[in-house]
Amino acid sequence: MTTKDRFINRYKTGDTPWDTGKPDFNLIETVNGHPISGCRALEVGCGTGDNSIWLAQNGFHVTGTDLSEIALNKARKKATEANVTCDFRLVDFLQSSIETAHFGFIFDRGCFHSFNAEDDRERFANNVANHLKDAGLWLTLAGNADEDRKGPGPPQRSARDIVLAVEPYFVSRSLGNGDVGFIVPGPDMTGGENRNQENNEFVDWSFYHAKWLNSG
């Protein structure tokens, strides 16, 4: 099963532990700490829209893409309920480009790290660079291979994995350790009716800020 098919299927079955129902605090911290508010923003792998909606609420002009129509329909409903405008699109970002103006900020929470092949991660980084303005900022959250994990969690990538993929196209801003919300089965969950109960656990991630290298 391809990465694309796997994500589509997981939304169909409701197996989406990354969908915490709230914006990621790493995103909030980055936006509050950098002069990037009010620009055009792209979220790759927007899921059910919580991060895109938060960005729109904070002055960004937001486009969100995902592989799952189920996720996008939920995102559109949430945006309507929140009274914000987001342009949600069904797009396979690894294979496609988005016909719109270049973005000042791009965010992905767990898309880049989902690709096992080094060539695919580099293609993903190249496509991000092609969609960014000069001096634009990319924030990607990726599972940290240095984490001593005891239970379920996102794919894990090493610092070397990240650097090899992104540095042909980006100037490094920071690469560090952080936490991210992740839903894992509770101690009483054995596959019965409480299977989807939320038990929020913070999984150690590495997060990477990068700017497009202006070669012009």
In single-letter form, the type of residue at position 52 comes to S
Euclidean distance between CA atoms 49 and 77, whole angstroms: 9
- Judged against a pLDDT cut of 50, whether residue 216 lies above it is answered with no
* Mean of pLDDT values over 86-112: 88
Q: 29: number of CA atoms within 13 Å, CB side?
A: 11
At 205 the pLDDT is 52
Joined together, the tokens standing for residue 161 give: 């994995």
- Judged against a pLDDT cut of 90, whether residue 80 lies above it is answered with yes
The topology under which CATH files domain 3-184+196-212 is: Rossmann fold (3.40.50)
pLDDT tens digits along 111-138? 888 888 899 999 999 999 899 888 788 8
Q: Which of 16-30, 37-51, 62-76 has the lowest mean pLDDT?
A: 16-30
Joined together, the tokens standing for residue 202 give: 């913070």
pLDDT tens digits along 155-214? 788 888 888 888 888 877 776 665 544 444 333 322 333 333 344 444 445 565 666 555
The secondary element (H helix, E strand) that includes residue 176 is strand 170-183
Q: What percent of the chain has pLDDT over 70?
A: 74
Query: Does residue 160 sit in helix, strand or coil?
Result: helix
What's the chain's length in residues?
A: 216
* Mean pLDDT for the chain overall: 78
Q: What pairs with residue 66 in β-bridges?
A: 90
- What residue ranges do the domains of the chain occupy? 3-184+196-212
Phi-psi region of 124 (alpha: psi -120 to 50; beta: other; left: phi over 0): alpha
pLDDT tens digits along 28-46? 988 888 777 789 999 999 9
